[in-house]
Amino acid sequence: MSTMAAVAQPLAANLVQSVDWLAIAPPTIAAVVGLVVLVADLFVGDAKKALLGWLSVAGLAASALLLLPLLDGDRSTFCLTGDADVCSYTADRFTLVIQFLVLGGALLSALLSVTTLKDADKGLPEGEYWFLLLSSAAGAALLPASRDLATLIVALEVASLPAFALVGIRHGDKKSSEAALKFFLSSVTATAVSLMGISFVYASTGTLYLTQIADRIQDVDGQLHTLAQTGVVLTLIGFAFKTAAVPFHFWVPDTYVGAPLPIAAYLSVVGKAVGFSGLILITVVALPSYADVWGPALAVLAALTMTVGNVGALRQQATRAYSAVRLLAWSSVGQAGYLLVPIAAAAYSDDAERSIGSTVAYALMYAAMNLGAFAVVALVGRTRPANRLTDYRGLYASNPFAALLLAFFLLCLAGLPPGIIGLFAKVTVFSAAVDAGLGWLAVVMAVNVVIALFYYLQWTTLLFRAPEGEPAGHRVPAPLTVAIALTGVIGIALSGAPQLVLRFTDTGLF
């Protein structure tokens, strides 16, 4: 991120690039606060390490608040001196919503991390932890705004590299380092493949700017045509990996189980947001003319992903260690399938932005509910670190509110009332698929909703069953309460007025 700041110094008078500081404020603030935390860590004694935590949370909150002034109109910066409308960074409605999702997700993960760090008391290095989290958040916030492949790849890497470190941050733990290695190697391979794809696309179009690619890729001549097509597919791989689409999902369960819980939550929400926003930028912005190429590919990927995700979650034994986190991992793979459906539908329907809107709406709902679920899992994990599903038996007796809210979150993810927002989010995805004429995909999704309900409801019934043995009293620390309460309020508010989230389905995003 520091390289970005260096470029801003004026090299020569006429080469001064007017930088719209307000537009790039959110990612920059996150990065700067990250640096401040890294430096402050040296001076802060062990006693006041918690201060770093609250500083990072404040930093994230500030960068989220900075989105508000950008709401009025589309602003873009780092544009070409030649023609001003080809820019690297645009803060349009799509960017703002994804940045809000990313920063909100990071904020909630930070709240979970505060408790985890306090419980680990010196088991985890606070300074590095917060620095890595903030820098990953900054990278993730940068990605939706980037409008050229270079910034896109850099943002992707800035979001991913700190994540590898965060996954492996528990030094003594074998599982953590193993998970980190798996995540690292898979991700790096995917990025290499993606870069190869970008090089082919660059070869066939001669530019990296998405809008220019969109124009030039249409009139690619003869033998470059197959090169362009392979380039398109290979580029998609990197981002499909990040959203954990099927052939690239193997890392998800191992990583989430190995990683500390807040990081698993962070990856499941922000990691996926990075993935599908990258996919949207490439497919809808960069390559609308190749819709018949990436349309069916994404549709097949979506169908496979949701089926494998749900079916994988179906067979979890409730007695294995970390089975709760593993179930949430598989469920996040399944949910990624639902996220991909509208993108695939965008290829077929005439109004691509409407169907993209339903991905965004679904992602917002998914983020809130998933983080809520992770918060409650973190809460239970504090007294029963093995986090088996059987540990949730009779949670209602010991902690009624947490149990009720977890039930609400799970039913929202399943898409059944009382989770009304979950239901309507799924309805928008269904309607995007039906509108695009992808009947078979809608039917596959219908079957998946039923399979998903099985394990979500199995867990919910477990909560309300009579607890054997005396119910362990869960004392809920402050940050966890805030996190659970926040996600709960968001869920219930959205259930009351789904329009707040669903309005993205009928407004122009780009």
Partner 1 sequence: MTTTTLAVLVPLLPFLGAAAGLLLGRTAPGFVRPLAVLPTLAALVLAAVIAVRQGGDQAVDAATELTPTGSVPIELALHIDGFAALVAVLVGFVATCVQIYSTGYLRDDPRYPSYAALVALFTSAMLLVVYSGDLIVLLVGWEIMGICSYFLVGHYWETPEARAASIKAFLVTKLGDVPFLIGLFALATDAGSFRITTVLGAVTHGGLDHPTLIALLLLAGVAGKSAQFPLHTWLPDAMAGPTPVSALIHAATMVAAGVYFIARLLPVFEASQAAMIVLAVMAAVTMVGSGLAALAQDDIKRVLAYSTIGQLGYMTGALAVGDRGAAVFHLLSHGAFKALLFLAAGVIIHAAGTNSLAAMSRMRDLRARVPDAYWTMTVALLALAAIPPFSGFFSKESVLGAAEHVATGHTEHAPGVAGWTILVAGLLTALLTAAYAMRLWLLAFRGRGTEAPDHGRQPLTMTVVLWVLAVPSLALGGLAYRVLPDWFDGRDLAPTLTTSVLGTGVALVGGIVTYGAWRYTASVAAHSPIGAVAAHPEGDAARVEAEAIASHAPAYGDVASAPDPADPGRLLLGPLHRHAAGGFHLDAVYTALFVRPVQAGATLVRFLDREVVETYVRGAGALPRWLGIAVRRAQTGNLQTYVSALLAGTVVLAVAVVLVATGA
Partner 2 sequence: MHLAYPAVLSTLLFCTGLYGVLARRNAILVLMSVEVMLNAVNLNLVAFDVWLSKAAEETLHSGQALTLFTIAIAAAEIGIGLAIVLAVHRNRGTADIDKLRDTAEGHETDGPDSDARTAEQADRTGKAEATA
Partner 3 sequence: MIDINESVMQFLLAFVVVGPLIGAAAALLPAPPGLKGKSPEQAVLRHGMTVTGAVLIAAVVLALGFDHDHPSKMQATTDISWIPALDVRIHLGIDGISLPLLVLTALLTFLCALYSYFKMPAGPSPKAFVALLLVLESGTLASFAVLDLLLFFLAFEMVLIPMYFLIARWGGEQRTEAAWKFILFTLLGSVVMLLGLLLIGLKAGTFDMVALATDNGRSLTTSVQVIAVLAIGIGLAVKTPMWPLHSWLPDAHTAAPTVGSVLLAGVLLKMGTYGFVRILLPVAPDGFRTFAPYLAAFAVVGIIYGSLACLALAKQGAKGDLKRLIAYSSVGHMGFVLLGIATMTPTGVNGALFANIAHGLITGLLFFLVGALKDRTGTTDLDALAEETGAALYGKAPRLGGLLAFAAVASLGLPGLAGFWGEMLALFGAFKPAEDLSRPAFLTFMAIAAFGTLLTAAYMLVVVRRVCMGAVSQEAPRLADVHTYEFAAWTPLVALTVVAGLWPKALLGLTDPAVQQLLAGGTR
Binding site for partner 3 (CB under 8 A): 361, 411, 416-418, 420, 423-424, 427-428, 430-431, 434-435, 439, 442-443, 446-447, 449-450, 453-454, 457, 461, 464, 466, 497-499, 502-506
Nearer to partner 3, 370 or 505 (CB): 505
User: 76, 160, 186, 335: which one contacts partner 1 (CB under 8 A)?
Assistant: 186
Rounded least distance, CB 189 to partner 1, Å: 5
Q: Token pair of 390, please?
A: 């059987």
Instruction: Read off the tokens for 148.
Output: 């050229």
For residue 502, CA distances in Å to 34, 301, 425, 441, 506 come to 33, 24, 7, 21, 8
Query: Which member of 131, 251, 322, 374 binds partner 1 (CB under 8 A)?
Result: 251
The total of other beta-carbon atoms located within 10 Å of residue 427's CB is: 14
Binding partner 1 (rule: CB under 8 A), the pick from 311, 318, 404, 457 is 311
Using CB distances below 5 to 8 A depending on partner kind, what does residue 203 bind out of partner 2, partner 1, partner 3, none? Answer: partner 2
Q: Which does 216 bind (CB under 5 to 8 A by kind): partner 3, partner 1, partner 2, none?
A: none
Distance between CA atoms of residues 391 and 470, nearest Å: 12
* 190 binding partner 1? (CB under 8 A): yes
Q: Stretches 43-51, 116-124, 430-438, 442-450: which one binds partner 2 (CB under 8 A)?
A: 116-124
List helix spans (H) across 206-322: 210-216, 224-242, 251-258, 261-266, 272-280, 291-314
352 HSE (CA, 13 A, CB side): 18
Nearest to 277 by CA among 182, 176, 143, 388: 143
Q: Which of partner 3, partner 1, partner 2, none has residue 195 at its interface (CB below 5 to 8 Å by kind)?
A: partner 2
Looking up tokens 């994988």 gives 312
Which among 360, 366, 365 is positioned nearest to 508, based on CA atoms?
A: 360
Q: Is 262 in the site for partner 2 (CB under 8 A)?
A: no
Is residue 352 a contact residue for partner 1 (CB under 8 A)? no
From 15-23, 254-262, 356-364, 369-377, give the range in contact with partner 2 by CB under 8 A. 254-262
H or E element at residue 367: helix 352-383
Backbone angles phi, psi at 286, to 5 degrees: -85, -40
Residue 254 binds to partner 1 (criterion: CB under 8 A): yes
Report if residue 189 touches partner 1, rule: CB under 8 A: yes
**Residue listed under structure tokens 């920059």:** 28
* 226 lies in the binding site for partner 1 (CB under 8 A): yes
Which of 383, 461 has the CB closer to partner 2?
383
Least Cβ distance, residue 422 to partner 1 (angstroms): 21
SS (H, E, C) 11-61: CCHHHCCCCCCCCCHHHHHHHHHHHHHHHHHHHCCCCCHHHHHHHHHHHHH
Give the one entry of partner 3, partner 1, partner 2, none that residue 416 binds, where binding means its C-beta sits below a cut-off of 5 to 8 angstroms depending on kind: partner 3
DSSP assignment of 438-483, as one string?
-HHHHHHHHHHHHHHHHHHHHHHHHHHSPPSSPPPP----HHHHHH
Kindly state whether residue 246 participates in binding partner 1, applying the rule CB under 8 A: yes
CB-nearer residue toward partner 2: 181 or 304 = 181
Contact residues for partner 1 (CB under 8 A)? Answer: 181-182, 185-186, 189-190, 193, 226, 229-230, 232-234, 237, 241, 246-248, 250-251, 253-254, 290, 292-294, 296-297, 301, 307-308, 310-315, 451, 454
